[in-house]
């Protein structure tokens, strides 16, 4: 049975069952990724940025004879933002290829269409069944990034300490657990605005204005995801010349996610990228002692950043693709094949 589902009011047993399915999916499709934990999973699924909505459906087995609710074997949710719905679908490996994934997409697509949104986007992990699945539904590939993973047990910490101080004169590097301090929010947002058209994909929008940045940090905290920031300040002007952001999620606290790293155009060529990333790893080592890995996503054309990541010890992991489709076309196609 497929039904609309609200993580805010779901029972703890449902949250635990969804976690089991998510971990079965990870074990099948991304066996090197750490399993997820239940801590803040409800909040992770429920909390959104102001102005955004996430709508979810689950596929649940029938209850037992004694009324015990059945396991959750599939889930879809769609995040409505701007004029796009961002989709995520999961189907337990034991019930795949029976049409459940397609059914779940149809539920979400119909709602996105009724709500008047134009297109649906989805992140698709390379070398997993999701590629053939979305291509069979007519989604087109828009953008490809490479995910890389750094194993912290292989890091040469002494070398990293050298890298962290090897930047040009006139810059000061600062570490800010939790997010940039309020007095730096405006300069921070200006630095992020500079690269917005160059390096970001569509589905992970960055925050370019101060209020959106505050909202985004607040949303991360509510979802159980702790942000850490290292920035390089240009001492003469007080401008943020470079920044790097890492998030440690309560759901998988041994593997952190690298978010944006930006060096503002005028400040390139002074070793800032290398220095701020190295400083971040040094700080995380003491702030998050359970951490064993950091993962990052880069555009394949971003050779400079890929080079620095390789120097830090990141290994290329796999493609991470954005696919999209016109909603009306998707609904039409799915209805026609039922």
Query: What is the binding site for ligand COA (CB under 6 A)?
Result: 25-26, 29-30, 88-91, 96-102, 125, 128-130, 132-133, 136
Q: Between residues 13 and 132, which has the closer beta carbon with respect to ligand COA?
A: 132
Query: Nearest distance from residue 319's CB to ligand COA, in Å?
Result: 13
Q: How far is the CB of 235 from ligand COA (least distance, A)?
A: 43
Nearer CB in complex with ligand COA: 17/244: 17
What are residue 161's phi and psi, to 5 degrees? -60, -40
Give 74 or 313: the residue with its C-beta nearer to ligand COA: 74
Q: How far is the CB of 146 from ligand COA (least distance, A)?
A: 16
- The nearest distance, CB 324 to ligand COA, in angstroms, is 15
Would you state the structure tokens that stand for residue 316, as one six-digit string? 């290329």
Rounded to 10 degrees, the C-alpha dihedral 57/207/184/148 comes to: 80
Q: How far apart are CA 296 and CA 199, in angstroms?
A: 13
Distance CA 79, CA 191 (A): 27
Residue nearest to ligand COA (CB): 101
Of 147 and 192, which CB lies nearer to ligand COA in the complex structure?
147
Which residue, 132 or 301, is less far from ligand COA as judged by CB?
132
Q: Give least dist CB 308 to ligand COA, A.
A: 27
Using alpha carbons, select from 172, 162, 314, 306 the residue that is nearest to residue 242.
172
Helix intervals (H) in the chain: 12-29, 41-46, 100-114, 129-136, 157-165, 185-194, 196-199, 210-222, 272-287, 303-312, 327-336
């Amino acid at each position: 049975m497929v039904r609309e589902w609200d993580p805010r009011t779901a029972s703890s047993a449902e949250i635990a069952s969804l976690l089991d399915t998510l971990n079965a999916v990870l074990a099948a499709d991304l066996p090197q990724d750490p399993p997820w934990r239940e801590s803040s999973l409800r909040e992770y699924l429920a909390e959104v940025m102001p102005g955004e909505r996430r709508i979810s459906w689950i596929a649940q087995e029938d209850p037992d004879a004694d009324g015990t609710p059945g396991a959750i074997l599939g889930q879809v949710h769609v995040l409505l933002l701007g004029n796009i719905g961002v989709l995520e679908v999961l189907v337990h490996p034991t019930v795949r290829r029976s049409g459940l994934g397609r059914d779940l997409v149809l539920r979400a697509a119909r709602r996105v269409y009724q709500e008047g949104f134009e297109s649906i986007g989805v992140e698709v992990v390379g070398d997993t069944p999701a590629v053939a699945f979305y291509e069979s539904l007519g989604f087109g590939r828009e953008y490809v990034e490479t995910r890389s993973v750094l194993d912290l047990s292989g890091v040469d910490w002494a070398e990293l300490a050298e890298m962290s101080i090897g930047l040009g004169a006139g810059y000061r590097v600062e570490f800010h657990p939790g997010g940039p301090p309020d007095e730096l929010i405006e300069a921070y947002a200006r630095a992020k605005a500079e690269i917005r058209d160059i390096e970001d994909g569509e589905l992970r929008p960055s925050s370019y204005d101060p209020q959106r940045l505050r909202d985004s940090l607040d949303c991360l905290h509510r979802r159980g995801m702790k942000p850490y920031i290292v920035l390089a300040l240009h001492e003469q002007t007080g401008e943020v010349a470079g920044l790097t952001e890492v998030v440690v999620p309560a759901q998988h606290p041994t593997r952190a996610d690298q978010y944006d790293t930006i060096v503002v155009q005028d400040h390139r060529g002074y070793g800032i990228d290398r220095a701020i990333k190295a400083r971040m790893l040094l700080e995380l080592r003491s702030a998050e002692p359970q951490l064993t890995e950091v993962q990052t996503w880069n555009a394949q054309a971003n050779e400079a950043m890929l080079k620095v990541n390789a120097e830090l010890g990141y290994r290329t992991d796999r493609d991470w693709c954005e696919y999209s489709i016109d909603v009306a076309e998707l609904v039409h196609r799915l209805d026609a094949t039922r």
